[in-house]
Structure 1
Amino acid sequence: MESDDAAVLIGVSGYRDPSLLDVPAARNSLHAMRRLLTSPELCGWSEDRVHVLEDPAGATDLALELHRLAEETTGTLLIYFVGHGIVSKSGALCLAAGDTQLRYPDLTGLEYDKVRSALLDSPAQVKLVILDCCYSGRIIHGLAGAGESQLVDSTDIRGVYTLTAADQVAHVPSRDETAGTSFTQVLCDIVRSGIPGAPPALALTDIYPKLKSTLKARGLPEPNQRGTDTVESYPFSRNVAYTGGTGFRLLPQEHVDRFLRILAAQPHHDLTAESIETLEDWPGVYLLHRESRDASQVLYVARNDRSIAVRLGQHLRKISGRCYIDASDLSFSYLKLDDDLSVLAPERLVLQHLHAQGRSPLWNNSGFGNNDAGRMRDSRRRGGDDFDVLHPIDLSWPVRFDVPTLKVTAYEMTVHLRSQLPYVFRIEARDAELDRVQLTLPESSLRADRAFRLLAAALGDSWQISALVGQVLMYREQGKRYPNAIRYYAGMQTVTEMPEVCKAVGLPDDS
């Protein structure tokens, strides 16, 4: 399914090759960029449109994931990279992944030509590239030295704006473990402070002169930029230093105020399948609320450009399979809109209004709205305010098997589980062994935990089922450990990492 917008944030801070020093600042910059993009007062990206790929090990998997996301994006595509940049013998810029070797960057790193290929293949109307790494400016200017190729055409792609940190070595703070890289830190500081005298919406070309002069004044490497077509004027962020002017406003303040009043007056409906079924396929903005005797708390604000009903149904299914939350305590309100929502972004107006009142929704920017982001993010450690950490998956979820003999192949069982579970169950690409292995179900209805035990026992020790706080994985691997794991199943062995979660749903602790 194609998506309107996607921001792909790639950060590599740890490397296996001892010749490449670890860069803790890269991790800090990666998360600073995510916070900047998802801030409703600034860039206003929806959390589910921002894909954070932290410390990817292999360049091949990284390239595949980048191409997949680029091919699915039709609106705005933003690619950000922070980490080591290495120049190959041919003069090509290679972005270093965790397994990249300094001696063979073209063989083990992500050559920028592969990023360029993803940009060319993407149907996105606006494409932005921000590279915070050494030698990134080479893709804009090229170098004429002996043995070095001219790379200026690497950024000559219709509808692409490219911003790079340095022509030579980028600057990284050497001692402060909490600081980001100098380029990203200054970029974020400028956006958060705004630019007096600039337009109400800042394009990267508005930010660039301030970015360049600030870095130059501090004696740091100077950035470079290149843009084609009208992408240079793409509004990257709201200008918080804008004090008003005489220009035309697409949405006069009185219209914004009226929209907020009308939305606030909409009735609350129980978050149930019956309530959702009464809705038509309307585009619009909607809110999720937690109801209590004293007041109603806004948990989540979003828009859907096609069908509010479909999105609410997805939310209900997700919530129903989680611990420490009950859908019967939740409600939703909505407002049908006929405007181009991708232009007006009504959810940003609501989020800004709530934030100004000190009522920022708990689930926005928590990962609640995310779909399965793929294997690249399985090893990312979740923060304490992440939705999946607050409300981990329920391994006691009942699964019914309507088969006459209760005999199934391992593959049939995985397909059935994927259709029945209200959370992601991702498996290895179809393996012939899954069709050969058969198992007998003891009864027609099982808890998910029991089903995973049976499946693991039938497959043996060469496979591992890993239940994480947000999804379940099944891969041909042994002894792999993931951050925020609840339980592992391998052969006849079950290892529990979070006994409190299993206890909450009445499952035995097998640790």
Structure 2
Amino acid sequence: MGSDDAAVLIGVSRYRDPSLLDVPAARNSLHAMHRLLTTPELCGWAEDQVHVLEDPTGATDLALELHRLAEETTGTLLIYFVGHGVVSKSGALCLAAGDTQLRYPDLTGLEYDKVRSALLDSPAQVKLVILDCCYSGRVIHGLAGAGESRLVDHTDVRGVYTLTAADQVAHVPSRDETAGTSFTQVLCDIVRSGIPGAPPTLALTDIYPRLKNVLKTRGLPEPNQRGTDTVESYPFSRNVAYAGGTGFRLLPQEHVDHFLRMLTAQPRHDLTAENIEKLQDWPGVYLLHRTSGEAPEVLYAARNDRSLALRLGQHLRKINGRCRIDARDLSFSYLKLDDDLSVVAPERLVLRHLHAQGRSPLWNNSGFGSNDAGRRRDYRRLGDDHFDMLHPIDLSWPVHLNAPDLEVTAREMAVHLRAQLPYGFRTELGDAELGRTRLTLPQSPLPADRAFRLLAAALGDAWQISALVGQVLMYRERGGRYPNAIRYYAGTQTLTEMPEVCKGPAF
């Protein structure tokens, strides 16, 4: 997958309306789909391309997040939803969020027309939709719903392939708390096992007949598909059961082998601003290496369709603002390419090659290079092997203020911090109070920690600055708690959640 691709995985397992029963299997299916997409030898999506929206409560915020991600995607856009689906009195399909009310699904749910609008507005070249839900409201041992005919009208978007779970009832195991929904579970099993006799890569249209047959044989609801243009032939996953054949190969194996030899032979360069500045704006594939220790280790393999220099510069800035890592121990190698990288996907070839050698780059699929995916991800507990957990942000990072002793607004201070910090600083800049609150800039430089203390003291107890392992948030809230927090600032109070991990200079 390229840097311009995005997979939006939405799973809702908990509902406030007692008429909509909780569906633990939806949470399990959400996590299973995430694992499937980010497995290098299968779908090969990078962790930072997969945006997991787990148990969103409000449909409006969900729609805004979905539109934002769709508008920023120019390559492949994949939308997956698992949870309750209901049909309003007017016949509109609605995807149920946590606060959706069965009586008013059109007012409180995410109408599929809004998803359709996001698809239409997105500049993505490939658009895939997988819906594991049905379309009425009451649940006994599954997700009950109306017929598929209504959905077809809504999913008829040119250039989009849509795969749905069932005509009537999307089956959910009634007792097993560890199982996923039957549709997603069978889909994942097929991809992980591969299909003998099928091409080297599997499109969803290759998977669909096997998916339908397995579900039918088990007496479970049958899926449906709908595709337009050539998007239905888009390679969804590598076929692990492929044993070779005489069919046409877009990339002959000798070319692949030559590419891998060329990349391996490229010299390594210290990861410094000076070396990165020497690069031209050129697309290509690159590797990040850890050069300390007995032998170089590949940490990250990726591509950039536009500018190697820009992407490597972003990596260097991020690494410099992290703890327990030193850019002086890292190097990079690269190979400029003339091909359409969205078709060739050279980084997937590299990852498969490394995996076959028993070498799995530590930072691939661990969140390295990930963008801010929105407020919902703030509440997602990260695994111990996630990049942000291994290398949390450095709160001692020096902030340079251009005009000490000058009085500025809190909004101006926030904008300045955004520009200065090598990690994300998210807030609602449009809040009027940020424009009314004023503070005096101290002598610089000063650590980011002190800048947050000054800003929090000026705003008072109604606001809270929350430093997470990967970014910093500032919102009008009191007592908000996040599972990956390092430190909280509210008024003149500071609460440290994790031990100090960085030692910075004293200012």
TM-score range, shorter chain: over 0.9
| Alpha carbons 1:140, 1:225 under 8 Å: kept | no
Distance 1:139 1:494 in 2: 53
Q: Is residue 418 from structure 1 mapped to residue 411 from structure 2 by the alignment? A: no
* 1:110 positional shift: 0.6
**Aligned-residue identity in percent:** 84
Change (3 A) 1:139 1:78: farther
Give the CA deviation at 1:162: 0.9
Matched with 2:226 is 226
SS at match of 1:65: helix
1:110-158, Cα deviation, whole Å (9 max, x unpaired): 111111111122222221110011239989842xxxxxxx453212211
Give yes or no for contact 1:399–1:446 (8 Å, CA) kept in 2.
yes
- Give, as a single letter, the amino acid of the residue that structure 2 aligns with 1:198: A
Q: 1:399 to 1:87 in 2, by over 3 A?
A: same
CA-to-aligned-CA distance 1:148-171 (integer Å, 9 cap, x gap): xx4532122111111111222211
In the TM superposition, residue 503 of structure 1 has moved relative to its aligned partner by 4.8
Question: In the aligned structure 1, how far is the partner of 2:147 from the partner of 2:472?
Answer: 42
Q: Deviations over 1:320-355 (max 9, x none)?
A: 111111111111111111111111111001100111
Task: Provide the alpha-carbon RMSD of the alignment.
Answer: 1.9
- The answer to whether the 8 Å contact 2:12/2:84 transfers is yes
2:108 corresponds to 1:108:
yes
CA distance in 2, matches of 1:198, 1:65: 37
* Aligned counterpart, 1:203: 203
Q: Is the 8 A contact 1:86 1:96 kept in 2?
A: yes
Alpha carbons 1:140, 1:154 under 8 Å: kept: no
Amino acid at match of 1:346: P
Aligned position for 2:311: 311
The AA in structure 1 aligned to 2:386 is D
User: Are the aligned partners of 1:201 and 1:238 in contact in 2 as well (CA < 8 Å)?
Assistant: yes
Written as runs of structure 1 = structure 2, the 5 A alignment for 1:158-169 is: 158-169=158-169
The answer to whether the Cα contact below 8 Å between 1:62 and 1:376 also exists between their aligned partners in 2 is no
Unaligned runs of 5+ in 2: 137-143
- What amino acid is the match of 2:188? C
Assess if the C-alpha contact under 8 Å between 1:3 and 1:74 holds in 2. no
Contact 2:405–2:442 at 8 Å: present in 1 too?
A: no
CA drift of 1:197 comes to 1.4
Matches within 5 A, 1:42-61: 42-61=42-61
1:120-135 to structure 2, matched below 5 A, reads 120-135=120-135
Match of 1:505 among 489, 492, 503: 503
CA shift for structure 1 position 414: 0.6
**CA pair 507-221 structure 1, distance change in 2 beyond 3 A:** farther
Q: Distance in 2 between matches of 1:229 and 1:186?
A: 26
For 1:33, the equivalent position in structure 2 comes to: 33
What residue in structure 1 maps to residue 329 of structure 2? Answer: 329
1:268 aligns with 2:268: yes
Deviates more, 1:129-138 or 1:420-429: 129-138
1:457 counterpart SS class? helix
* Cα separation, partners in 2 of 1:354 and 1:133, compared to 1, 3 Å: same
Question: Does the 8 Å CA contact 2:25/2:177 hold for their aligned counterparts?
Answer: yes
Structure 2 CA distance for partners of 1:507 and 1:216, relative to 1, 3 Å: farther
The answer to whether the 8 Å contact 1:11/1:54 transfers is yes
Distance (Å, rounded) in 1 between the aligned partners of 2:293 and 2:202: 43
Shift of 1:229: 1.8
CA contact (8 A) 1:26 1:83 kept: yes
Alignment match, 2:456? 456
Deviations 1:424-454 (A, max 9, x none): 0011142222122111233222111111011
Partner in structure 2 of residue 146 of structure 1: none
Matched, 1:19 2:22: no
Q: TM-score, normalised by structure 2?
A: 0.94
**Correspondence 1:368 to 2:368:** yes
Cα distance in 1 for partners of 2:17, 2:469 equals 31
The answer to whether the Cα contact below 8 Å between 2:404 and 2:443 also exists between their aligned partners in 1 is no
TM superposition shift of 1:507: 10
Further displaced range: 426-435 or 469-478: 426-435
How far did residue 52 of structure 1 move? 1.3
Aligned to 2:64: 64
Shift of 1:3: 6.6
Contact 1:384–1:390 (8 Å) recurs in 2 = yes
Contact persistence 1:43–1:236 (CA under 8 A): yes
The whole-number CA distance in structure 1 between the counterparts of 2:313 and 2:51 is 23
CA distance in 1, matches of 2:177, 2:187: 19
**2:82–2:131 CA contact under 8 A, matched in 1:** yes
Partner of 1:280: 280
* 2:478 alignment partner AA: Q
